Each structure stands twice: as C-alpha cells, then as structure tokens.
C-alpha cells in the first residue's frame, strides 16, 4: 500500500511538471506569435541573366566551362563572322559609291549655277542693247517724220525720203531682234535655274544616301561585333550546353549567368499572416543548407497579387463547387549589409530558407 502511494506521488509530480512545461511553452509560443510571423515556404533568389546571341551563325569556339566564375566583359564563345565581314565590306563600298555620287552632284550644282550667271549676264547685255536700239528707233522715227514732211513739200528727193524710211525700218527690225534675243536669254536662264534646282535636289538625295550608307555600315559593324558573346555581369555560369559547330539563332537562350549581386528572399506568407506586416520590418533568415547560421534581412515589398493569380491557369471561383483555400502572398525580403558577405555568397538561388518577421 505504501509503495502504491509513492507511485501516485511520482506520477503527480511528473504530471504537474508536464503541465507547467506545457503551459510555459504554450505561453511562450503565444507571446512569440504576437510579435513574429514565420514561414518555411521561402526560397533564395538572385538575378539570372540569360545568354542570348543577337546574331545567327555557327559557334567557332567556347571559352568557358560549366559552373565557371566569370567577370563582366569576359568572352564566353564566338560565332563564325565570315558572313558579317563580307557585309561590312559591302557597306563600305556602298558608302564610297554614295560619296562619289555626292561629289558629282555638287559639281553639277556648280555648273548649273555658272549657267544661271551666264544667262543673267546675257539678259543684262540684251536689255542694254534694247535700250540703245529704242533710242535709234526714236531717232530714226523722228528723222523719218521730218523727211516725210519735206518730201510732201517737195523739198527733198524721193531717194532721201526712202533712205530715211529704210533707216527707220532697220532700227525697228534690230529692236525686234534684240527683244527676241532677250526672251531667248530669259528662257535659257529659266532652264538653268531649273537645272540648278534639280542638281540641288540630287545633292540632297546624294547626301541622304551617304547617311544611309553610314547607318548600314554601322549596323554591319555592330552585327559583326555581336559574333563575340561576352558576359554582361559578374557571376557564375550554369551548365554550358553548347559546342563548336552548333548553329545558334537570335533570341535563343543558351545558358545563364547567376549574378554575384546581392541575393534576396521570396517568402510566401498566408494571407492571414500579413495583417501586421509592413515594409521595413526586421527579418531573421535561416537556410536549410546551413543549420544554425542566421542571416539578417528587411521586409522590402509585397506582391500585388497572390501566387495563384500568377499561375498558368488561375482559379476561377465563379464556376463549379467552391472550397475556400487560404491564399499565399509573395513577400520580398532583402539581405542587409550587416551580414557576412562571404556567407551570403554561399547562398544559391532556389535554396529553401525559413524566415521570421519581427512584426513588433
């Protein structure tokens, strides 16, 4: 009987201890939950820069290997540039032809301008001659009038009268010839002006062709430079699944460079957890790959929609039977400068982590 009482006493002590411990742990978890929001649905993320050729062609040489560390500007691989060299030479020839055409057009402009100057000089000369001819016509007309009066009065002979009449007619005919010559000079000037305008237009066209040829040459040289594919950022390569002789096309993603820039974390919290969360709050991060190592972060921003909305087939709750499901909202967490940079470099994109947001 005494042994049974001792057993009951031990059981009671253990029970009380369990109740105290359980109550203490429950109280701790409750208090902790009031100031923290946690989730293990979180992964490390980094910039993944795809290596995409800008021109097509056959790979001539690959300079890197799988998982290699590269610096910005390092050559990754080269594409056969023979076709692009030919296009550069063609563009240079087109530019030379355009420049020659421009020089010829400028020469035509000079010749047309000289023709206009000659025509203007001829017109000015004709106008002077016409004025002199008009004076001669005026004088011959006056002489003819006087001789006619004298002839009517029988004061001069018919021969003298006819001579005055002939002089008048000769002066009038000479005036008409000079006036016709002036008209011809004006027509010639108009033709020269038209030719000058055409030459000027041709010069502008030739000048535009030069600019076009220069742009074509620049594009050809740019495409030739694209045959050398380089790293856009510092980082580590993924699997380099290419080889010499392989045909690549513009826009074809061949492999990736994982940037060495700072990593961040995308944590998917339940929609019921984000009530007290806001940007700027402190976050403690633990990576599954490095137990016991804590990283300090800061809550940066919230996604504008839940993860389900960004899925390939977003749910449509207006059709079929509806079962309410708690949604998760992606939250971006950035790592602060307080972390050990060497340890941060160990984090790989896609690693699982657990995050603890200090909401108070």
Say how far apart CA 357 and CA 36 lie, in whole Å.
5
**Confidence bin at 242 (pLDDT 50/70/90):** very high
Residue 282 has pLDDT above 90, yes or no: yes
Is residue 51 over pLDDT 80?
Answer: yes
pLDDT over 80 (residue 176): no
DSSP tag of 348: -
For the chain, which domains are there?
36-46+261-360 (2.40.30.170), 53-80+227-252 (2.40.50.100), 82-224 (1.10.287.620)
Q: For the residues of 63-107, what is the DSSP string, one character each?
A: ---TT-EE-TT-EEEEE--HHHHHHHHHHHHHHHHHHHHHHHHHH
pLDDT average, residue stretch 43-62? 94
What is the mean predicted confidence (pLDDT) over 265-291?
93
Model-level pTM? 0.66
Cα 273 to Cα 276: distance, rounded to the nearest angstrom: 7
Indicate whether 173 pLDDT > 80. Answer: no
Classified as helix, coil or strand, 354 is strand
Higher pLDDT, 9 or 326: 326
What does the pLDDT read at residue 27? 66
* Residue 138: both structure tokens together: 């005026």
**Selected residue with higher pLDDT from 172 and 299:** 299
Nearest 5°: the CA angle 180, 182, 186 is 115
168 or 301: which leads in pLDDT: 301
* pLDDT single digits (tens) 327-350: 999 999 999 988 888 888 889 999
Residue 4 has pLDDT above 80, yes or no: no
């Amino acid at each position: 009987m005494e042994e049974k009482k001792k057993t009951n006493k031990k059981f009671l002590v253990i029970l009380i201890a369990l109740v105290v411990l359980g109550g203490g742990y429950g109280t701790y978890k409750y208090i902790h939950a009031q100031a923290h929001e946690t989730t293990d649905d979180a992964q490390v993320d980094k910039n993944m820069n795809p290596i995409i050729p800008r021109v097509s062609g056959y790979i001539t040489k690959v300079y890197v290997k799988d998982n290699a560390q590269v610096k910005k500007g390092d050559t990754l691989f080269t594409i056969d540039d023979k076709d692009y060299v030919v296009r550069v030479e063609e563009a240079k020839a087109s530019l030379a032809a355009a420049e020659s055409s421009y020089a010829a057009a400028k020469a035509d402009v000079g010749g047309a301008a000289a023709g206009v100057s000659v025509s203007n000089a001829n017109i000015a000369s004709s106008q002077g001659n016409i004025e002199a001819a008009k004076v001669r016509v005026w004088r011959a007309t006056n002489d003819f009038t006087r001789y006619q009066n004298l002839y009517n009065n029988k004061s001069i002979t018919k021969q003298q009268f006819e001579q005055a009449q002939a002089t008048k007619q000769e002066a009038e005919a000479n005036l008409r010839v000079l006036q016709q010559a002036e008209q011809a000079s004006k027509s010639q000037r108009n033709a020269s002006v038209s030719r000058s305008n055409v030459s000027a237009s041709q010069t502008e066209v030739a000048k535009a062709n030069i600019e076009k040829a220069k742009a074509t040459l620049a594009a050809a040289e740019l495409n030739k430079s694209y045959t050398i594919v380089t790293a856009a950022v510092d980082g580590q390569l993924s699997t380099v699944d290419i080889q010499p002789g392989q045909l690549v096309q513009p826009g074809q993603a061949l492999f990736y460079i994982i940037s060495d820039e700072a990593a961040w974390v995308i944590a998917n919290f339940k929609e019921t957890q984000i009530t007290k969360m806001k940007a700027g709050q402190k976050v403690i991060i633990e990576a599954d790959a490095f137990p016991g190592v804590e990283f300090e972060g800061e809550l940066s921003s919230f996604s504008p929609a839940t993860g389900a909305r960004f899925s390939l087939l977003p749910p449509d709750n207006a059709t079929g039977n509806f079962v309410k499901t708690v949604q998760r909202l992606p939250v971006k967490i950035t790592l602060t400068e307080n972390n050990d940079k060497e340890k941060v470099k160990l984090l790989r994109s896609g690693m699982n982590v657990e995050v603890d947001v200090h909401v108070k």
